[in-house]
Amino acid sequence: MKYTHNNNELTIKDLNKEVYLKGWVAKARNLGSLIFIDLRDRFGITQLVLKEGSAYFELASSLKSEYVIEVKGIVEKRETPNKNIITGEIEILVNYLEILNTSIPLPFTITNETNALEDTRLKYRYLDLRRPIQAKYLLDRVEITNIIRDTLRKNGYYEFETPILGKSTPEGARDFLVPSRLYHKQFYALPQSPQIYKQLYQVAGFEKYFQIARCFRDEDLRADRQLEFTQVDIEASFINEKDIYKLVESIMKNLMKKFLHLDIKTPFRRLKYKDAIKLYGSDKPDTRFDLLISDYKHLLKYLPFKSKSLRGIVFNQANKISRALIDEYTRVIKQNHGNGLIYVKKVNNEYSSSINKYLTEELKQELNLANEEIIFLVADKYESASVSLGALRNRLASDFSLYSNTFNFLWVTDFPLFEYDEEEKRYVACHHPFTAAQDFEVVRKNPAKALARAYDIVLNGYEIGGGSIRIHNSNNQKLMFETLSLTDDDINNRFGFLVEALKYGTPPHGGIAFGLDRIVMLLTNTLNIKDVIAFPKTQSARDLMMDAPSPVDEKQLADLGIKYHE
Ligand code: AMO
């Protein structure tokens, strides 16, 4: 290529060299006898200068933001250096300029700081991605993906592919369906994950599989969820939980070292699901702060509540908790299925509370609050009290910045195998129905008590991955489906091929999948998953740039045998 440098390269060491550069006009300032141009590419910025009398002075004075140009010139020392950029000590005295393309005025300026609305940025995402901070998120994503890929390959894992058009996989979300043109009334489903295919790779004898896989789930979007997202999907044969922990810890250790230059300690802390709920009220606890949840069931005798459980957290900045905040926190509790919030506050050695009538000296003594402490209590079923307090715990941490500046990785283990779905009046799988039980006898006798050989990996309160050791025996798989109340017909129609495959010498196997978008989000310190996805959907599930979803031609619908009722 004729160009000699990127725009982040030239320094004082290059003085007097003739260089050939290209890029976008980030800024052009015409001072009458001098024109300064900031030339930008995705690497950085180089300042260009043209003096009155230059053959290109007039052309330069016609430059506008985001014109694409190429220039030749001599590297000179700047009069007033800019310490903030690598090229800040030099500028290029231009002796040749060509405009490669022009640009109409932009909907927003290409700067890191912007007050453009998110919708505008997403509509013009190709411009938004020119903003250096946005470009950096994507380049960081590439680097993170490469580091993970390299570590897996070094560990003997092979990168495989799996189909996008397949059959519904039960990961718990709604499927995206693709109507078949050749078989009317029949549908492909986009994969919620490559779960079944990666298990079939094991049946086929490919012991160490991985894939950077796109997954599709039609679910409500949140700050850490998209309709289509990317998993680092892993599966291996002849392994157990410890092998997976070791592999994942080495991937994360390597990633933190290479990407953030941080040494993290392995092995990661392991916490059983039931202890995570007991202490943190969450199956993805943020362990960057304490505020642990405790049991106060023994105090129910002082109170008028008829609940099974009384649980609470003590917070030591009581003077900062206003009435309005209490109302807000009550909403947090209720939104998270707690039935209400009780508080007792001790400020300047004076008590105030939501249970004045019951706040006897005896109860005060039992509560044992220090001055400036407030206790938040929820009287409810054990689960609801714990989970709603878990949400309040997170809210307090965010309101009062209680986070330590660390990356806290954590394994959550020993999940229940089933959850009881009150609406459908049947058990559903907590992870997915291919997860092995710790003891299949318990599944047979008392499914509610069965524990799964499943594990999640959590980072700073986000679930960044989950997996399990799988069922490799067709009788156990059948038992699992039966416990989920699937009829023989259901089993045959949906998973017959898998039950059959398990009969042909399937090796013991297991795996895990990371949410790559979430990992990139946390490591680049943005809390919005859209930032790390090149072309994301909005919260209301639209692609604003392409304007999708959108209507299609009648003819296309007719081909598919679809007719909509108006
Ligand atoms: P799971 O459903 O737990 O497991 O998904 C694995 C990880 O994928 C990420 N994730 C998401 N990221 C962004 N947007 C979403 N909508 C979204 N949904 C999930 C999370 C999650 O931990 N097949 C199993 C894995 C296995 O058993 O090996 C699976 O898909 O970080």
Over residues 61-107, the pLDDT tens digits come to 999 999 999 999 999 999 999 999 999 999 999 999 999 999 999 99
- The pTM of the full predicted model, rounded to 2 decimals, is 0.95
pLDDT at 483: 95
Those residues whose C-beta lies under 8 Å from the C-beta of residue 97, and which sit 6 or more positions away, are: 50, 56, 59, 60, 69, 70, 71
CA atoms of 406 and 268, how far apart (whole Å): 13
DSSP class per residue in 421-476: ETTTTEEEESS-TTBPBS-HHHHHH-GGG-BBSEEEEEETTEEEEEEEEBP-SHHH
pLDDT at 565: 86
pLDDT at residue 59 greater than cutoff 90:
yes
Q: How does residue 208 score in pLDDT terms, banded at 50, 70 and 90?
A: very high
pLDDT at residue 223 greater than cutoff 90:
no
pLDDT at residue 421 greater than cutoff 80:
yes
DSSP class per residue in 297-312: GGGGGGSS---SEEEE
Distance from Cα 218 to the centre of ligand 1, integer Å:
13
Distance from Cα 232 to the centre of ligand 1, integer Å:
9
pLDDT at residue 332 greater than cutoff 80:
yes
pLDDT at residue 168 greater than cutoff 90:
no
From the CB of 195, is ligand 1 less than 6 Å away?
Answer: yes
Nearest CA to ligand 1 atom 22: 465
Residue type, position 344, single letter: V
Q: What is the mean pLDDT of residues 277-304?
A: 97
pLDDT at 225: 94
Q: What is the mean pLDDT of residues 476-496?
A: 91
From the CB of 225, is ligand 1 less than 6 Å away?
Answer: yes
Distance from Cα 198 to the centre of ligand 1, integer Å:
14
Those residues whose C-beta lies under 8 Å from the C-beta of residue 553, and which sit 6 or more positions away, are: none
Q: What is the mean pLDDT of residues 191-215?
A: 97
CA atoms of 7 and 48, how far apart (whole Å): 11
**Dihedral sign (CA 16, 18, 22, 25):** positive
Going by C-alpha positions, the residue among 566, 453, 546 that lies closest to residue 508 is 453
pLDDT at residue 172 greater than cutoff 90:
no
Q: Rounded to whole angstroms, what are the CA distances from 52 to 35, 49, 61, 76, 94?
A: 8, 10, 10, 17, 11
End-to-end CA distance of the chain: give it in Å, rounded. Answer: 58
pLDDT at residue 193 greater than cutoff 80:
yes
Going by C-alpha positions, the residue among 456, 345, 329, 318 that lies closest to residue 389 is 329
From the CB of 312, is ligand 1 less than 6 Å away?
Answer: no
pLDDT at 72: 98
Distance from Cα 465 to the centre of ligand 1, integer Å:
6
CA atoms of 212 and 231, how far apart (whole Å): 6
Q: Which residues pair with 77 in a beta bridge?
A: 90
350-365 confidence digits (pLDDT tens): 999 999 999 999 999 9
Torsion of CA 384, 388, 393, 394, to 10 degrees: 120
Q: How does residue 520 score in pLDDT terms, banded at 50, 70 and 90?
A: very high
Q: How does residue 171 score in pLDDT terms, banded at 50, 70 and 90?
A: confident
Q: In testing the pocket of ligand 1, which one of 171, 196, 435, 533 has its CB within 8 Å of the most ligand atoms?
A: 171
Coil, helix or strand for 345?
Answer: strand
Going by C-alpha positions, the residue among 496, 504, 445, 437 that lies closest to residue 470 is 437
Q: What is the mean pLDDT of residues 2-15?
A: 97
pLDDT at residue 170 greater than cutoff 80:
no
Q: How does residue 37 score in pLDDT terms, banded at 50, 70 and 90?
A: very high
Q: What is the mean pLDDT of residues 148-169?
A: 95
pLDDT at 456: 98
Question: By percentage, how much of the chain surpasses pLDDT 70?
Answer: 100
The DSSP element (H or E) to which 47 belongs, if any, is strand 45-51
pLDDT at 424: 87
**Is 517 in contact with 226 (CB distance < 8 Å)?**
yes
pLDDT at residue 213 greater than cutoff 80:
yes
pLDDT at 240: 98
| Percent of the chain that is helix, strand, coil (3-state, to 5) | 30, 25, 40
Q: What is the mean pLDDT of residues 142-159?
A: 98
pLDDT at 475: 93
Going by C-alpha positions, the residue among 82, 88, 135 that lies closest to residue 110 is 135
Residue type, position 488, single letter: D
CA atoms of 189 and 177, how far apart (whole Å): 5
Question: By percentage, how much of the chain surpasses pLDDT 90?
Answer: 95
pLDDT at 36: 98
Distance from Cα 430 to the centre of ligand 1, integer Å:
13
From the CB of 226, is ligand 1 less than 6 Å away?
Answer: yes
Atom from ligand 1 closest to the CA of residue 465? 22
Radius of gyration of the chain (CA): 30
Distance from Cα 439 to the centre of ligand 1, integer Å:
25
Atom from ligand 1 closest to the CA of residue 226? 14
